[in-house]
Amino acid sequence: MGMHDPISDLCTRIRNAVMARKEVVEVPASRLKLAIARVLREEGYIEDFKFIEDGKQGILKIYLRRSPEGEYAIHEIRAVSTPGRRVYVRRNQIPLVRRGLGIAILSTSKGVLTGREAYRRGLGGELLMTVF
């Protein structure tokens, strides 16, 4: 049985790993998930990620970031768009996540960007997820 919503699956696996106090999360890879992982790394929510070739679609290994006190950088991660309900936003509709403390991740015509970067470039797109 195939996966219906890979972005929600990614969010759930990260959320579960944080709750289980794990260091690493493994998810089936895709170009979109690699782009999301790149944004999460640039914004400081994860340490790093690796793509592991397995002869099929590959595995994306995500290394979660923790503070010296052991607190995770990701407190809340939530998928917004689903296959049954796509959420598109214009530039001026991009949400502020936790009054600017979190980020919105959008799929735009210029690739996967944070809400802040999409706003700066004057772009809208599909609102994939919010992270705090």
- Residues 46-70 have pLDDT tens digits of 999 999 999 999 999 999 999 999 9
Q: Which of 106, 31, 36 is nearest to 74 (CA)?
A: 36
Question: How much is the average pLDDT of 98-125?
Answer: 98
Identify the pLDDT of residue 3: 75
- First CA to last CA distance, the chain: 31
Q: How far, in Å, CA of 4 to CA of 2, rounded?
A: 6
Question: How much is the average pLDDT of 27-56?
Answer: 97
Q: Determine what percent of the chain is predicted with pLDDT higher than 70.
A: 98
Identify the pLDDT of residue 127: 98
Buried b or exposed e, range 34-61, using 16+ CB within 10 angstroms: ebbbebbbebebbeebeeeeeeeeeebb
Identify the pLDDT of residue 2: 63
Predicted confidence (pLDDT) at residue 82 exceeds the cutoff of 70? yes
Question: How much is the average pLDDT of 78-105?
Answer: 97
Domains and CATH numbers, the chain: 6-131 (3.30.1370.30)
pTM across the whole model = 0.96
